[in-house]
Structure 1
Amino acid sequence: MAYQISATKLQAYNRCPYAYYLRYERKLTTNEFFGSTALGIALHQALAQCHRDWHYRHPLPDIRWVHHCWQQHSTDLTPNQISEGAEILENYYYNFIANQVAITQPLAVEGRIQGCLQVENLEFLITGRYDRVDFLPDGLELIDYKSGRETKLPDSREMDVQIGLYYLALEQTYHQSLKYLSLLFLRTGEKVQFEATEAHKERVQEMISNLAVRLRYDRGWEPIPGGQCDRCTFARYCAAVTANPAPLPEVHSKSQLQLVLNL
């Protein structure tokens, strides 16, 4: 069984190896909540249908097609959410569809990617999700829809990790290089494009190699103090931020590493 790694996990490792160890190797629970709102899920599904199911015999769909897709995925929302979602999708249509000569059928929508990397006799299974992948003349563009009210860009270091990991996985999946990773903010109509390079991939490969050594020998999980410590749910166990850290609780689950290496 391969050791699964995702952008979220690798970003956590890059922030602090010790927090990564507690969360993913010791399996300590946290109070963090990850999830999408019902409105956000419905918007993503409607956009997936809009680009996936359009017949492409005509260069552009009209606004009625967008309304049709929204109706298919908004049935469980409140009236206010339905109205808000319709407005967001209309803005999307006029910002990214209506002003085009023709829209191109995407390579894929709402899918998963996988890739593999062998390091230190350990096989890593790279996993990830995407909203849309478009084929460009010189590579691929991965588009990530952002439906939240927050339009602040992610930390540049975390973006570099995400770009590198997707570069590696998409190259194996589609045999094409990632050219751009684009964030598309649905509420504002902004699209922020990040160029992807071989250097991003090489940096991620280096990070995974570093992680593999720590996993292989189960040491070197020192904390990296920084701004993230203020909101870290593992601070009470960390000597870098707590004078008298609490002892780690007993954990009976086995690490993925034992399963992979079969030691």
Structure 2
Amino acid sequence: MARKFTVSPTKLRTFHQCPTKYKLEYIERLGRFYRKPRAGFSFGASLHNVLEQFHTQGGPEAVTVEALTETLASKWQSQGYRDAEQEQAYKAEAVKILAAYHARAVEVPIEEAPVTLYSEKTLNAPLSPEIVLSGRVDRVDQHPDMSLEIVDYKSGREVVEPEHVAGALAMSIYQALLKHHHPEQRVFATIIALRTGSQASHEQTPEEREWLLADCLETAETLRNKDWDGVLPVLNDHCPDCDYLPHCERYWKRQRRMEGYVDES
């Protein structure tokens, strides 16, 4: 049986940002040569791993704040920091974040506390006989009224508004995927800014879900059938933060040389 073509929020977002980046990442698979560790990524991943264990082990009723700090030490990722001083500053910030997170969790009355249904769970749903939509959620909680809440952590953001959740492609896809598996239950999504505790939610309407799935299918068909040989590097707003910028700069340098420009760099 032929393997189905799979698209995810990351794949779709990458293509919308820059087709060349998609080509280098998913077609030519050059990431291992260009992708570099970053402090923010390591910091976020460390917190995600600690909070995953916190919720799967029973939350504040079962896990003390001291235990959270111990888990952080065992889950800490050290890649990407400029030096030991910067890493230590990030680690101290992580301890503060986890203590505040635990304090907020303790304040929720037991009778109102949700139960974690999934943690770091991959959800899939068919878009067509040949295409699958896939997404990995940080956490899904089931509330006493049986509603399902998708929870996503942001370690670099300080403020979250409902429109941020509504406009986040990943959160929209997660809602559509979860609704596919639990059609009879209310589904909504929440983003939590870990540094401040700010959070906001959005519940996708049936019309929003229908439009989203149609758009994902259209983009997936484009990705599946595109002539990638004709996709060449083009300067855009995402270039300064892109790991593949050196690759594209070499291409642009070759093009200038072929066109007769003198390289004075």
Q: 1:180 to 1:116 in 2, by over 3 A?
A: same
The whole-number CA distance in structure 2 between the counterparts of 1:22 and 1:73 is: 34
Structure 2 partner of 1:61: 61
Q: Does 1:47 align with 2:51?
A: yes
Structure 1 partner of 2:11: 9
Alignment of structure 1 residues 102-141 onto 2, 5 Å: 102=110, 103-118=113-128, 122-124=130-132, 126-136=133-143, 137=145, 139-141=147-149
Q: Whose relative contact order is higher, 1 or 2, with alpha carbons under 8 Å and at least 6 apart?
A: 1
Structure 2 partner of 1:86: 95
Q: 1:215 to 1:101 in 2, by over 3 A?
A: closer
Larger helix share, 1 or 2: 2
Q: CA deviation at 1:8?
A: 0.8
Q: 1:151 to 1:235 in 2, by over 3 A?
A: farther
Q: 2:191 aligns to what SS in structure 1? A: strand
The whole-number CA distance in structure 2 between the counterparts of 1:134 and 1:53 is: 14
Amino acid at match of 2:12: L
Q: CA deviation at 1:14?
A: 2.9
Structure 2 partner of 1:179: 187
Q: CA deviation at 1:143?
A: 0.8
Q: CA deviation at 1:22?
A: 4.9
Alignment of structure 1 residues 201-216 onto 2, 5 Å: 201-215=209-223
Q: 1:142 aligns to what SS in structure 2? A: strand
Q: 1:11 to 1:39 in 2, by over 3 A?
A: closer
Unaligned residue ranges in structure 2 (runs of 5+):
77-86, 259-265
Amino acid at match of 1:171: K
The whole-number CA distance in structure 2 between the counterparts of 1:229 and 1:152 is: 26
Amino acid at match of 1:12: T
Q: CA deviation at 1:97?
A: 1.6
Q: CA deviation at 1:79?
A: 6.6
Q: Deviations over 1:181-234 (max 9, x none)?
A: 222111111113233222332233222332344345435988998644665637
Q: 1:237 to 1:216 in 2, by over 3 A?
A: farther
The whole-number CA distance in structure 2 between the counterparts of 1:70 and 1:113 is: 30
Q: 1:211 aligns to what SS in structure 2? A: helix
TM-score (ref. length: structure 2): 0.67
Q: 1:74 aligns to what SS in structure 2? A: helix
Structure 1 partner of 2:261: none
Q: Deviations over 1:224-259 (max 9, x none)?
A: 986446656375699xx99x5899xxxxxxxxxxxx
Q: Does 1:25 align with 2:27?
A: yes
Which deviates more from structure 2 when the two are superposed, residues 137-146 or residues 220-229? 220-229
- Kept after mapping to 2: 8 A contact 1:179/1:197: no
TM-score (ref. length: structure 1): 0.67
Amino acid at match of 1:54: G
Q: CA deviation at 1:142?
A: 0.9
Q: 2:47 aligns to what SS in structure 1? A: helix
Q: Does 1:143 align with 2:151?
A: yes
The whole-number CA distance in structure 2 between the counterparts of 1:158 and 1:15 is: 19
Q: CA deviation at 1:6?
A: 0.9
Structure 1 partner of 2:207: 199
Q: 1:196 to 1:235 in 2, by over 3 A?
A: farther
